[in-house]
Amino acid sequence: MRLLFASTPQPRRGHVPQPRLRTSIATAAAMGADTTTKKIGGAKNGGTRVVPNKKAPGYYPADDVKVKVKGASKPPTPAKLRSSIKPGSVLILLAGRFRGRRVVFLKQLPSGLLLVTGPYAVNGIPVRRVNQAYVIATSTTVDISKVDVSKFEDGYFGKPKVAKKKQKKSSDEFFAEEQPVRTSACQPSLACSKHMAMTN
The answer on pLDDT for 59 being more than 60 is: yes
> Range with the lowest mean pLDDT among 1-5, 80-84, 117-121, 176-180?
1-5
The answer on pLDDT for 160 being more than 80 is: no
**5-46 tens-digit pLDDT:** 656 666 666 665 555 545 555 555 555 568 888 888 877 887
pTM of this structure = 0.50
pLDDT confidence tier of residue 62, bands split at 50, 70 and 90? confident
Q: Residues 96-100: what's their mean pLDDT?
A: 92
Q: Residues 76-94: what's their mean pLDDT?
A: 91
Q: What is the CA radius of gyration of the chain?
A: 36
Residue scoring higher pLDDT (142 or 3)? 142
* AA identity, residue 153: E
Alpha carbon distances (Å) from 128 to 7, 97, 120, 124: 76, 11, 11, 12
Predicted local distance difference test score (pLDDT) of residue 33: 63
Predicted local distance difference test score (pLDDT) of residue 21: 47
- How far apart CA 189 and CA 185 sit, in angstroms, is 8
| Dihedral of alpha carbons 181, 185, 190, 191, sign | positive
